[in-house]
Every structure is written in structure tokens, then in C-alpha cells.
Structure 1
Amino acid sequence: MDAKTAAKAVKQGEAASVYLLYGSEKYQMNEFAALLEEQLIPKEERDFAIVRLDLADTSIQSVVEEAETVPFMVPKKLIFVRDTSFFTAAKDNGKVEHRPEALLDYMNNPADYSIIVFMVQQDKLDERKKVVKAVKKGGVALSFAPLGGEELLGWVDKQARQQGCTLADGAADVLVRNAGTNLQSLSAEVEKLCLYAGEGGVIDVDTVNMLVARSTEQNVFALVEDIANLRLDKALAIFYELLKQREEPIKIAALITRQFRIILQVKTLSSQGYTQQQIASQIGLHPYAVKIAGEQARKFETVRLERILNRLAQLDYEMKTGAVDKVLGLELFLLRLGA
């Protein structure tokens, strides 16, 4: 079952007794948790009906005990439980002793007046654990993975429509390139853009560039994109703007190195038949960033990428030892790269 199907079931009054939410897409996970709260607990009952616990300082036995305790002054209660290691292979550094059998016993006969929602900020569950198998069998486990490239752009478009405005062609792509892939940040930027455009307004690329500032990382991303497309004047303009913002040249060089290393990794894995999602998982990157890196990779031969990384390693050494002026060294590197 996916989150969309689970949300539909909740709205139809078919909530499960136990939910296990996991993944790195925190924004959507919190959205689903908020949906449970909104659909299952009336606003006036929430002070008594909502319990928030953390397995870092609360044992699983105490969670079960809370679930089995009849709610006070309300017919149903919702128990949100944060976790990082109980359901995963991560090392448990906490001092709390958990007895998994307590949850296993509860799953056989869950209380009809309690709903437990485990929220795990990890991409993978430890499928070997009995508690994982038990919750998957008797409850609902939902994965919240980062959205793929096209999914992310579709999500941004949908957010804009919900705010009463629309994004012109290419605007969603530029917004993600400027603001990054964090859904919380993107949601805030869409709200700002729609307030500027007004009800029924259309947001174009120029408006996005005017209102959405790029972070240092996104600026370097754009700089490499301009180099890949032989737009040396724009690449240098971004570089000089970063210097005006007092960014350290060594840091800029390190970020450029990181981006070219990603491009090489994506190019290598793509040639081996890996999909976008598989590459994202393999190198720990958002699928949208993999998509853009893949587009950039097509403009460079593997041998040239390796030469660029070797030159960046040499430049890093020269900058740190004082063999070359940091700004001049990086400037010359960009000029040679775009030549």
C-alpha cells in the first residue's frame, strides 16, 4: 500500500491500528501524520487524545502500555512515536531497554481505541526483525522516499494550483534548481510566489529568478550547468557574485569538485544500466539531482571529467599551500574549462 491509498482509506473511516511510516522525505511523512490527526481526532479533543513519544527515551513496553490504557474523556487516542533504530539496522545508542515481544503481543490484539503511528527517519527497515514483519502483516507500513525528477516537478505544480496560481513552462524546473529539493523549502517558496502573483496569477521563469534566491550550493550547481552549456560569461558572473557574498574560494572549488565527481559517478553508473532511482540510492543523492547530473554528464566525455577532477585536486593543493592566488587560480580554471 502506498501513502495515497492509505490516505484514502483513512478518509473513508478505515484507519489501521498501527502505522509504520519510514523514509527520508520528512515533509510528506509529516503531512500524512497531520492527515491522521485531522481525520481521526476532532480539534476540541486533541489535548487529551494525542500523545507524542520517542523511543530514544521511552521503552516500547511503555508505548504498548499507553496504547492499552483507556483514553481519558475522549473515545480514541492517537499515539505518535519517533524512532531511529528500533525498526532499522541502525545502532541503538540509547539507554532505554526495549522488549520487542511487548509489541509483538500487542499486534495480536490491538486496542480498538488507540492508533499507534511509528515515524522512522530512515530509508530502510530491517526486514529481518520480527517487529517489522509483524507491523507489516498486522498494520500498515508506508515508505516516504524522495520524489523522482518528474514527480518532484509535478508536486511543485500541484502546490501552486492549490495556492490558486499556475507555473508557466519551465518555472517549476527553475524553482527547484534555485531552491533545492527540500519540500518544506519548496512549499514556502511556492506560497511566496503565489502571494506575489495573486489569485489566478501565472508565475514565469523571470519571476522565479527574481524572488527565489539560490544557496551557495545551488549557485555552484548553476555554474557547472553554465560551463556544460558553454555559457562561460554566465558561469563567471555566478563566480564573481559568490565572491561578493564573501564565499571562500577554497569552498567554491570544493563544491565544484563535488559536482563534477557526481557527474562522473552518474555517467559511470548509467553506462552500467542503473536507473535514476538506483543511482540516487547508490550515491546518496536526490533523484532530481541525479536527473540534472545525467543531463550534464552527456556533455562531457569520461576522460575529460577525470582530467577536470585531477586538475581540481591540483588546484586545491596549490590554493592551500599558497602556490597560487586563490581567486586567480579558480578564475583561470574556469576560463580554461570553458575554452
Structure 2
Amino acid sequence: MNYKEFNNNIKNNAVNPVYLFTGPEQYIGHMMEKTLIDMEISKGLEALNLTIYSDKNLDVSELLATCETLPMMSKKRMIVIRKEAQFDKITGKHDLERLTFYFENPCPSTLLIIYWEQPDKRKKIYKTIAKNSTVVVFEKLDSGEIQAWLTKRINNAGKKISRSVMGLFVQRSMYLVNEKKTMEMVDHELNSLIDYIGDREEITKEDILLILPQSIEDGIFKMIDYAMTGDKGQALLMLNQLYQEGESPFGVFSLLLRQIRMLLMVKIYTKKGLPPKSVASEMKVAPFIVNKILKNGKNYPIDNLWDLIIIGADLDAQMKLGEIDQHLALELFLMKIE
């Protein structure tokens, strides 16, 4: 079950006794958790009906006793096992047997949430939970989902944003191209933006550019784009801008070669007929990264990319041996991109 399906179930008051929250977007899980607390526990009685386990060495006996305790003046008792409690590290045979029995016969007046970001699906305990409970997978949001999320947050803050400015915010956030970027980070950036504009209602392009300066990865892609389309002057201007932002020639060159290698690999796998999801699996990257590369590099010929890999390797060796100035090498490399 994904977060949208889970959210619909909550709205329809279809709540199950045990949930396993998995996936990289645990921040969204925490928000869903708060919604359940507000819905299932009487206001002001959270201290009596909410137990959160976040310390290592989770005591299974204590946990199960709490699960079997009836709520006090509330619809449900809620128990949350945070990832810090290391539920996945429980290995004692007796403890696992008792947990298995509980998952097969959960207390109907208790709502148990377990955070396990990357569960080992081979483990018996996972199979038992998956069979008898509800697994909610909080994956990274796609382009439409993140824009819908941000629009709701902006409206709730009493602010307005145009579609084009929203697109710029998503682009500058790097959420769709950086697998380590989470919605918690994006929310923090959005809050900074809202704080910055103060009493002003409209979020503008200039606000985005100031609060979210361009990342080097995004700049590298654009620099390649300019060079590929023959606009070498603009590519060199972008290179100088990266220098002004404190990037070293060798650092930029390394990222440039990395992007070209990834472009080449994606093009090769795609030419073999592999769908983006399979390409992502082969390259051990997230599928949205492959989709982004395909979109950005659709006009880059494979032969040109091979040539650039060879030229880049040669210049890399020359730079490391001190046979060529790093700045000059990088400019020469940009001139070779076509």
C-alpha cells in the first residue's frame, strides 16, 4: 500500500491494528502517524494512551504487555516503534514466537505502528507482519505528487505561487534527481521560503533563486546541454559561475565525467530495450534518476559520449601528472563536447 491509499483508508476510517511503515520517506510516515494520533486518541489523553519506543534493545515482554493494555477513555491505545528501537535486530527465538503470535492475533483496541525503513523480506518476522498486517511503503514522490504536496502546504500558509515558479522550486530543490533528498528537507526549504517573504502573499521567481541557489549537479547538466547544442560561450560562462561559487576545476571535471558516464550507461541499456526501471536496477540507482537522465540526454549520440569518455580519461591523466593546467583542461574538454 502506498501513502495515497493509506491516506484514503484513514479518511474512510478504515484503520487496522498493526502497520509496518517502510520506504525512504519516513517523514511522510511521521505525518500520517500524527493524523492517526489525532483521530484515535482523545485530546488531552495522549500521555495515557500513547507509548513510543525509541531506545535500542527493545523489551519484547514490555511491548506485548503494553499492546494488551486497554485504552483509557479513548478509542484506541497507540504504540509506535521508531527505527531507533531497532525492531529488525530482535533475534531471540522466544521473542520472535511471541511477536508472531501477537501479529496473528492483535488486540483490536491497540494500534501498533512499526518503522522499518528497509525490511529484510526474507525474515520470518517480516513475512508474518506482511501476511497478517498492513505494510505501507512511503516511496519518494513523483513530479505530480510533490507539486500537489507543495501546493497544499503553500495554500495552508496563505501564500500563492504560479505553476512556472512552482516548477522552478521543484527543480532547484533537486528532490527528483537526488535520491538522498527527502520531503523533510524540501519542507524545511519551503518553510525558509515562506519565512523569507513574510507578509507578502505571492512567491516569486526571485525568491526561489535567492533561497534555493542552483546545485552543482544541476549546473553541470545545463553546462553539458549548452555545449552539446553548440552554445560554447554560455557553457564557459556557467563554468566561470561554478568557479565563483567556490568549486574547483578538478571537482567540476570529476562531476562532468560522472554525468557523461551515467548518460552513456543509460543510453546503452535503453538501446538494448531495457525499460527505465530495469536500467535503474542494473545501475543501482533510483528509477527517477534514470528518467531524469533520459529526459536530459535524449539528444546526446552514444558515439559522441564514448569519444568524450576517452578524451576525458586522457585529460584526467594529464591533470594528475601536472602536464596541463586544470582550468585549461576543463575548457578544452567543453570545446570537445558536441
Say yes or no: does 1:131 pair with 2:130. no
Contact 2:42–2:74 at 8 Å: present in 1 too? no
Say yes or no: does 1:101 pair with 2:97. yes
Contact 1:55–1:83 at 8 Å: present in 2 too? no
Contact 1:80–1:116 at 8 Å: present in 2 too? yes
For the residues of structure 1 that align with 2:155 and 2:261, how far apart are their CA atoms? 37
Say yes or no: does 1:113 pair with 2:109. yes
1:143 Cα offset (Å): 1.0
Contact 1:26–1:121 at 8 Å: present in 2 too? yes
In structure 1, the residue matched to 2:294 is 294
Say yes or no: does 1:317 pair with 2:312. no
1:83 Cα offset (Å): 4.2
Please state whether the residue corresponding to 1:118 is helix, strand or coil. strand
1:290 Cα offset (Å): 2.7
After TM superposition, the structure 1 stretch with the greater mean CA deviation from structure 2, 164-173 or 67-76, is 67-76
Say yes or no: does 1:178 pair with 2:189. no
Superposition pairs of residues 1-339 of structure 1, within 5 angstroms: 1-54=1-54, 56-58=56-58, 60=60, 62-70=62-70, 76-83=76-83, 97=92, 99-122=95-118, 125-181=119-175, 182=181, 183-194=183-194, 201-337=201-337
For the residues of structure 2 that align with 1:37 and 1:228, how far apart are their CA atoms? 53
Cα shift readout 1:230-263 (whole Å, capped 9, x = no counterpart)? 4433332332232223323222222222222222
Matched letter for residue 164 of structure 2: G
For the residues of structure 1 that align with 2:83 and 2:98, how far apart are their CA atoms? 16
1:199 Cα offset (Å): 7.6
Q: Normalization by structure 2: what TM-score?
A: 0.82
Aligned residue pair count: 331
Contact 1:22–1:143 at 8 Å: present in 2 too? yes
1:67 Cα offset (Å): 1.9
Let me know the Cα RMSD of the aligned residues. 3.3
For the residues of structure 1 that align with 2:323 and 2:126, how far apart are their CA atoms? 56
1:18 Cα offset (Å): 0.6
1:315 Cα offset (Å): 2.5
For the residues of structure 2 that align with 1:31 and 1:225, how far apart are their CA atoms? 39
For the residues of structure 1 that align with 2:53 and 2:269, how far apart are their CA atoms? 41
Q: 1:113 to 1:171 in 2, by over 3 A?
A: same
Q: 1:38 to 1:73 in 2, by over 3 A?
A: closer
Cα shift readout 1:210-231 (whole Å, capped 9, x = no counterpart)? 4321233333344334434444
For the residues of structure 1 that align with 2:233 and 2:46, how far apart are their CA atoms? 57
1:140 Cα offset (Å): 1.1
For the residues of structure 2 that align with 1:167 and 1:113, how far apart are their CA atoms? 44
Please state whether the residue corresponding to 2:64 is helix, strand or coil. helix
Contact 1:104–1:131 at 8 Å: present in 2 too? yes
For the residues of structure 1 that align with 2:289 and 2:31, how far apart are their CA atoms? 23
Q: Normalization by structure 1: what TM-score?
A: 0.81
Cα shift readout 1:138-174 (whole Å, capped 9, x = no counterpart)? 2211111122344434444444344334433433332
Contact 2:228–2:300 at 8 Å: present in 1 too? yes
For the residues of structure 2 that align with 1:139 and 1:213, how far apart are their CA atoms? 44
Q: 1:188 to 1:95 in 2, by over 3 A?
A: closer
**What 5-or-longer segments of structure 2 have no aligned partner?**
176-180
